[in-house]
């Protein structure tokens, strides 16, 4: 009786094992059939022919939402920023990416796996939603973009995970340019360009506290020095901090913009930069809700060549109506007092072979 039962258990176990093997084989064959049926191609079919009609780019991320729009009179602008000029290269790259994007292979369709590749629906999720419309608000293309990854045989392209809104099926796609969802990347930054070799001095006058000037005497000098009286005893100028100050001019950048009329500049920190060739850049800065906003102007020295006067005119024409928000790092640097550029002085090292106390005993 025992042998009979053992034989039954063996037979049942064999059938169970065979069922598992057959089921696995069936799933494997179906997966191969699905893969063999997938043909790489355009992710947004037809958009390449209609991209010329695009007049609105709507971007939604976890942190922000904004529009970039086009008109014959103004070109590409950001309406929510007072129609400030948009970065045309960013517009061009985005439209080219969407028009030429090709799928490489399908990826997960499980909703709980989408966060792993950055494809959750924004604004609650981590993805970036991009919608392109024409002048009649007809949607030409819509996509959710996620994380980037490397591609085999990339040939300069970028791998990016994408999906269609409302569809959990994700894909790995090939893009020509990386996507930039940050608003700062969509702002035209061509306000001024002052090469490092030109800069002579930068003077900062805070609302309160001691101001300072950093300078170099010759264009060939690599390091700036803190000008003025010697620091208090036990302190010295911090070279690393001193050499960051010129970057406020030579590496001018900002993260947001708004009309200058909306910012109160009545009590500003003042910065004046002078170049070896006679240009003067002036910046007024105020702090609004823990953010530093600035306005920029320029005025060439009297008797300077026409080039410098024209440069000042261009800077004033571009910047006259606008206030620019600095990154937190640049904002802290611009609102710093002289004390912020000082550090504890290093004790002089003893010279080998000299008797202790040669330079006097400590008090």
What distance in Å separates the CA atoms of residue 248 and residue 331, rounded to the nearest whole number? 9
What contacts 24+ positions apart, CB below 8 Å, involve 337-340? 337/206, 337/209, 337/210, 337/211, 337/212, 338/209, 338/210, 338/211, 338/212, 338/226, 338/228, 339/209, 339/210, 340/241
Helices (H) and strands (E) in the chain, counts: 7, 19
CA-closest candidate to residue 93, choices 157, 148, 50, 44: 157
Q: Where are the alpha helices (DSSP H) in 87-223?
A: 88-100
- The C-alpha atoms of residue 202 and residue 289 are separated, in whole angstroms, by 26
- Look at residue 17 in the predicted model and tell me its pLDDT: 53
Res 13: pLDDT: 54
Return d(Cα 174, Cα 155) in angstroms, integer.
10
Return the bridge partners of 172, or none: 105, 161
Q: Does the structure show a pLDDT above 50 at 69?
A: yes
- Report the distance separating Cα 140 and Cα 56, nearest Å: 10
The domain segmentation of the chain, as residue ranges, is 47-186, 196-344
Residues belonging to the chain: 363
Q: Is 225 exposed, middle or buried (0-12, 13-18, 19+ CB in 10 A)?
A: middle
Using CB atoms within 10 Å of the CB of residue 152, give its burial: 0 to 12 exposed, 13 to 18 middle, 19+ buried: exposed
d(CA 248, CA 242): 12
- Could you read off the pLDDT of 221-265 as tens digits, one per residue? 999 999 998 999 999 999 999 999 999 999 999 999 999 999 999
Total-model pTM: 0.79
User: For residue 345, what pLDDT is reported?
Assistant: 86
Work out the average pLDDT over 18-43. Answer: 60
Please report the pLDDT score of residue 9 as a whole number. Answer: 45
Continuous H helices in 111-159: none
Q: How many CA within 13 A on the CB side of residue 177?
A: 14
Q: Which of 122, 139, 135 is nearest to 181 (CA)?
A: 122
pLDDT in tens, 174-205: 999 999 999 999 999 999 999 999 999 999 99
Other Cβ atoms within 10 Å of 149 Cβ, number = 12
């Amino acid at each position: 009786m025992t042998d009979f039962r053992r034989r039954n258990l063996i037979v049942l176990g064999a059938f169970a094992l065979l069922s598992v093997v057959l089921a696995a084989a069936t799933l494997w064959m179906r997966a191969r059939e699905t893969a063999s049926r997938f043909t790489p191609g355009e992710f947004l079919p037809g958009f390449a022919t209609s991209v010329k009609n695009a007049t609105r780019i709507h971007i939604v991320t976890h942190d922000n939402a904004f529009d970039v729009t086009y008109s014959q009179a103004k070109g590409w602008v950001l309406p929510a920023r007072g129609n400030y000029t948009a970065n045309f290269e960013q517009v061009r790259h985005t439209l080219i990416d969407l028009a030429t994007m090709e799928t490489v292979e399908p990826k997960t369709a499980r909703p709980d796996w989408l966060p792993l590749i950055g494809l959750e629906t924004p604004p609650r999720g981590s993805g970036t939603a991009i919608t392109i419309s024409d002048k009649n608000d007809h949607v030409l293309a819509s996509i959710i973009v996620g994380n980037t990854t490397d591609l085999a045989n990339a040939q300069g392209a970028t791998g990016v995970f994408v999906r269609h809104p409302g569809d959990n099926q994700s894909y790995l796609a090939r893009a020509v340019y990386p996507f930039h969802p940050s608003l700062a990347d969509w702002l035209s930054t061509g306000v001024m360009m002052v090469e490092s070799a030109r800069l002579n001095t930068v003077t900062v006058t805070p609302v309160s506290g001691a101001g300072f000037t950093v300078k170099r005497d010759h264009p060939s000098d690599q390091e700036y020095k803190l000008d003025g009286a010697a620091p208090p005893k036990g302190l010295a100028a911090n070279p690393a901090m001193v050499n960051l100050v010129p970057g406020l001019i030579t590496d001018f950048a900002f993260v947001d913009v708004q009309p200058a009329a909306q910012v109160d500049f009545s009590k500003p920190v003042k910065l004046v930069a002078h170049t070896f060739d006679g240009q003067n850049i002036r910046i007024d800065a105020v702090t609004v809700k823990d953010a530093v906003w600035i306005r920029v102007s320029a005025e060439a020295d009297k008797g300077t060549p026409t080039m410098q006067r024209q440069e000042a005119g261009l800077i004033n024409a571009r910047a006259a109506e606008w206030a620019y928000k600095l990154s937190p790092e640049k904002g802290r640097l611009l609102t710093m007092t002289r004390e912020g550029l000082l550090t504890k002085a290093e004790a002089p090292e003893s010279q080998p072979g000299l008797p202790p106390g040669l330079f006097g005993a400590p008090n």
